[in-house]
Chains A and B, each alone.
Chain A
Amino acid sequence: MNPKQLVLDADKCTSCLQCEMACSLEHEGLFNPARSRIKVFEFEHGKRSIPYTCTQCEEAWCMKACPTDAISINATLGTKVVDESKCVGCKVCTMACPYGTINYNSSTGKVNKCNLCDGDPQCVSACPTGAITFA
């Protein structure tokens, strides 16, 4: 059986950013959408609000591009996980990722990406409209 995935339904998103706050609280210890791994993009005066994050894609170009082998696969969850002790902040992965969902954090000098909160994604429980589910 395939591991569970985040399912993002843009039609239900109201752009409240509860997901971004839950994500930053989980990974950074404070409310800081600028450091969230999940992002909501708004278009045309709010006509569309689209939540987006790493799809944990099978190709995993971030992992293949990494010169220090800092990114590995979690076999249970299927997530691509950054080992901060190995990451040297070269940003090659951020260029290799076709989706722009692995990002450099200037305050730590490392890259960040979604790791599905080790199987309990906080954005899912924070979302008030069911736009983000885990199935």
Chain B
Amino acid sequence: MGWQKQILRVNLTTGEIKKEPLIMDWAQDYLGGRGLATKYLWEGMDPSTDPMSPDNMLIFATGPLTGTMAATGGRYTVVTKGPLTNAIACSNSGGKFGAELKFAGYDMLILEGRSVKPVYLVIIDDKVELKDAADYWGTTVWHTEETLKEVHKDPQIKVASIGVAGEQGVKYACIVNDLHRAAGRSGVGAVMGSKHLKAIAVRGTQGVSVDKPKVFMQAATETKASLEDDGGRKSLTKYGTNAMIDTMNEFGGLPTDNFRSVQFEGTENINPAAMVRPNANGHVNLITNKACFGCTIACGRIAHIDQTHFSVRDRKEYWHASGGLEYETAYALGPVVGIDDIDALTFAGYLMNEHGMDPISFGVTLAAAMELYDLGIIDKQTTGGLDLSFGNAEALTTCAELTGKQEGFGVELGLGAKLLCQKYGRPELAMVVKGQEFAGYDSRALQGMGLGYATSNRGACHLKHDVFAEDMDDQTGAGKAQPCKTSQDKIAMVDSTGACLFTMSAWDTGEFQLLVDSACEGGSDGTWDNERLLLTGERIWNLERRFNLSAGLTRADDTLPPRLLKEPAPSGVAEGRVSALDTMLPEYYSLRGWTAEGVPTESTLNRLGLS
């Protein structure tokens, strides 16, 4: 109850498909989703495994709230070792795929090995088959998803698939489900490609039960109401996540031109107001907002591109509606590459979804290439004739397509910023942590964010901590370590329930206690109390850390690029400041119960049951 108590294990080398009981002791310690999948990864695989080898495990995990009426209860997490970072990867996605997997009867899907030839996996309740994917290999995510629904004659089938980027090992290839939702970061799509697995098509008609339905429904109704009344929720519904772009620009935390600047003068052309403002042709970018499964927020944007725009003028196949700009796509296809052409950004966003690539990593890699071009380190001979000047919208859309198809200069862009900059002898220009590119928040203006980036187990990531309120109030590093640590633990717990972390503007652990207690077997009033939920999150965080340490990462990987540590912010509230990471990090290690080298002490491991 809450859990389906069954997982599916597929060995792509042998073709063996096994249904196994979920190990309930682990579920009681790690909940589900991110945490439970991390435990299975830790127990099932040597952390030093090459991410692209058959020995890497690729895990799709739902949580106890996935597929229930808990608001936003539709999430799943992909956990594996990521090729972008050589560290643990954990990428969360919405849409309807995760709930469908659970409705088919599985908490988790574990993929191991490597198929000789390309295959796809079909899960229709208890009927599970591997099928030849020769007709799909080399095609896009959109083609694959739409064709699989036709071939299997069921529009309700949900599909998670990769594009050519994933097939060919682009370091930041993602897994896309429901056309425009993605397990986006750390190259989980490249791992799927390395297994020669093109897609997973799933249809579930078994349903999901909770342990105490009446209590659960009361909790679901109450928590839905508190979310409805929340100001943060209202903003997400109305403006989407892109509301952040104006805030960050005014604040001076909006990374621009590969972090040379922190404010972008073209913001007004790509912000939420621009998305609803008719252009000279009367075209309005935004069509509507859209929810993931069970979500009462509906922050997703559905947009379309002006048909007269250079990018699609002669390409009618892109005139349809699809996923529109969110804050991170707007930032990474906009300010960080100096571009304010809303149609170019929207089109590049389409290409990210169609070809299966993480827009954050793509954009920041292109930004690094643009700086190399600006410095004269690469030129048109290197780029195949492309003018990579900051602000060139045609370069953005061309590079997005070349990278998605792995042609021309797109092959180099597929390396990610770290390897690209290393190749040209300027590693310091890669705006990454542990090889993963930054999201749209500058660590000089948002100091706690910088600490979160540096210590995130999957490399630079804005979604694994929340020090936002403290960062807006104060631009020093003081008092940031504690909220960083606490929020990391809390989010690790939320990511393991199957709910979305965007509920957290309204919900705290109390709300999760109500939902998890009533959904889960073994829960009763207060079983999953504040202390246990936070301890679960802390256990997950430390297990991820242990995985990374065993994979060979060290304290030296908990750092930021020299630009953020040495070059003062040129404007904004933090003008003149650099990141205070050197003072925040030792305080953080100490709060975590880790040694000065960032290693969990024996007593910390004992306290968390990880010895």
Asked if A3 CB lies within 8 Å of chain B CBs, one says no
Contact B228 A128 (CB under 8 A): yes
Q: A30-B208, A32-B206 are in contact. Are A22 and B298 (CB under 8 A)?
A: no
* Contact mask for chain B residues 308-352; partner A; CB cutoff 8 A; 1 contact, 0 none: 000000000000111100000000000000000000000000000
Q: A29-B213, A32-B103 are in contact. Are A18 and B296 (CB under 8 A)?
A: yes
Residue of A nearest to B287 (CB): A47
Contact B321 A25 (CB under 8 A): no
Asked if A69 CB lies within 8 Å of chain B CBs, one says no
* Stretch of A9-17, A78-86, A87-95 with 4 or more beta carbons under 8 angstroms from chain B: A9-17
Asked if A118 CB lies within 8 Å of chain B CBs, one says no
Asked if B5 CB lies within 8 Å of chain A CBs, one says no
What number of A-B contacts does a CB cutoff of 8 Å give? 88
* Contact mask for chain B residues 199-234; partner A; CB cutoff 8 A; 1 contact, 0 none: 000001111111001000100000010001000000
Q: A29-B213, A46-B302, A47-B302 are in contact. Are A22 and B69 (CB under 8 A)?
A: yes
Residues of B within 8 A of A16 (CB): 291-296, 298
The interface centre, meaning the residue of B180, B207, B302 with most chain A CB atoms within 10 A of its CB, is B207
User: By the criterion of a CB under 8 Å from any partner CB, how many residues of chain A are at the interface?
Assistant: 25
Residues of A within 8 A of B224 (CB): 128
Residues of A within 8 A of B69 (CB): 18, 21-22, 25, 31, 126
Residues of A within 8 A of B296 (CB): 16, 18, 128
Residues of A within 8 A of B295 (CB): 14, 16
Contact A45 B294 (CB under 8 A): no
Contact B207 A14 (CB under 8 A): no
Residue of A nearest to B180 (CB): A45
| Docked CA distance A47–B305 (Å) | 13
Asked if B289 CB lies within 8 Å of chain A CBs, one says yes
| Docked CA distance A31–B322 (Å) | 28
Residues of A within 8 A of B300 (CB): 46
Residues of A within 8 A of B103 (CB): 32-34
Asked if A35 CB lies within 8 Å of chain B CBs, one says yes
Contact A45 B208 (CB under 8 A): no
Min CB gap A37→B, angstroms: 14
Min CB gap B477→A, angstroms: 40
Residue of A nearest to B67 (CB): A31
Asked if B422 CB lies within 8 Å of chain A CBs, one says no
Contact B321 A35 (CB under 8 A): no
| Docked CA distance A55–B412 (Å) | 57
Asked if A49 CB lies within 8 Å of chain B CBs, one says yes
Residues of A within 8 A of B204 (CB): 34
Interface of B is mostly: loop
Contact A45 B213 (CB under 8 A): no
| Docked CA distance A68–B207 (Å) | 30
Contact B207 A35 (CB under 8 A): yes
Asked if A24 CB lies within 8 Å of chain B CBs, one says yes
8 A Cβ contacts from A9-63 to B: 14-18, 21-22, 24-25, 28-35, 44-47, 49
Residues of B within 8 A of A17 (CB): 96, 293-294
Contact B208 A25 (CB under 8 A): no
Min CB gap B222→A, angstroms: 13
| Docked CA distance A22–B296 (Å) | 14
* Contact mask for chain B residues 63-84; partner A; CB cutoff 8 A; 1 contact, 0 none: 0000111010000000000000
Q: A25-B217, A44-B321, A45-B179 are in contact. Are A30 and B209 (CB under 8 A)?
A: yes
| Docked CA distance A77–B83 (Å) | 60
Residue of A nearest to B209 (CB): A30
Min CB gap A9→B, angstroms: 13
| Docked CA distance A33–B68 (Å) | 10
Asked if B288 CB lies within 8 Å of chain A CBs, one says yes
Residue of B nearest to A129 (CB): B298
Residues of B within 8 A of A21 (CB): 68-69, 294
Asked if B462 CB lies within 8 Å of chain A CBs, one says no
Min CB gap B136→A, angstroms: 19
Contact B179 A30 (CB under 8 A): no
8 A Cβ contacts from B111-164 to A: 156
Residues of B within 8 A of A49 (CB): 290
| Docked CA distance A91–B6 (Å) | 34
Min CB gap A42→B, angstroms: 9
Min CB gap B2→A, angstroms: 11
8 A Cβ contacts from B167-214 to A: 179-180, 204-210, 213
Residues of B within 8 A of A126 (CB): 69
Residues of A within 8 A of B68 (CB): 21, 31
Residue of A nearest to B322 (CB): A45
Residue of A nearest to B228 (CB): A128
Residues of B within 8 A of A22 (CB): 69
Q: Which of these, A18, A30, A129, contacts B207 with CB under 8 Å?
A: A30
- A selection of 17 A-B contacts at a CB cut-off of 8 Å is A14-B289, A16-B293, A21-B69, A24-B207, A25-B213, A25-B217, A29-B209, A30-B208, A31-B67, A31-B210, A32-B103, A32-B205, A32-B208, A45-B323, A126-B69, A128-B228, A128-B298
Report which A residues bind B (CB closer than 8 A): 14-18, 21-22, 24-25, 28-35, 44-47, 49, 126, 128-129
Beyond known contacts A44-B320, A47-B320, A128-B224: 6 more, CB 8 A cutoff: A14-B290, A16-B293, A18-B69, A22-B69, A34-B156, A34-B205
> 9 tightest CB-CB pairs across the interface, nearest first?
A32-B207, A47-B321, A16-B291, A34-B205, A128-B296, A14-B291, A14-B298, A45-B322, A30-B207
